[in-house]
Structure 1
């Protein structure tokens, strides 16, 4: 099933893990502190069992995750003040799932599928640019948030097996 989704949606490997394809980029441009950016972008993003989205942050832009298909996804967030949240993105709101989750600009985020696969959409506003994308080093994350060392190491790029 995952291979078929990757093929039919024309997904490519993402630097943080999983697969993606940009599906929308607004023609309208806005001025930001980091330069001119598209007003918004959208992607498909797919994770399968055993994969994860490594800790990353999008500087200067909010990211909205939207559930599409498959099993629920755990989205792990570490705010600058050290507060941790792990909302579950999914379709069963009676079980506490959320069909969409907002990640404010600059918040550390990582994700994992809680089943065979999860297909989501991610919209970013102002629009995503890889120049605004950070994959922090594991040791820097642990030094900044030592109380969350186990969680940070579990989803670090270096922790990928």
Structure 2
């Protein structure tokens, strides 16, 4: 069994605006990293993300960034290895942006499966929060975890 998932959503804004809402740490901190993000997502960088629901800032390795197209990250999984996260941004004919997030690399164990489910939930929440933030300027996660 390959422990891998993809979640996706459509944001009613142009690709560049949606991409920047993820790549820019100030914007990312406005709706996702409830404890703050430090460092812009650029190829080769190691940035820091902190969440109130998962306290303690932790490093995120930025493997590859193709502006307005793709962001590839590595971060520690609960089972001691690193998972690979790929975010793809595609402009749609109607002016919206399709965002697809795929994460893979967990051990094929009950613990790995549980960790993958947790991250699937987290990325789904991130997409919902991204949509509301970019389209309406609302931080959906404000007060949700604390």
Q: Taking structure 2 as the reference length, what is the TM-score of the superposition? A: 0.31
Please identify which structure carries the higher strand content.
1
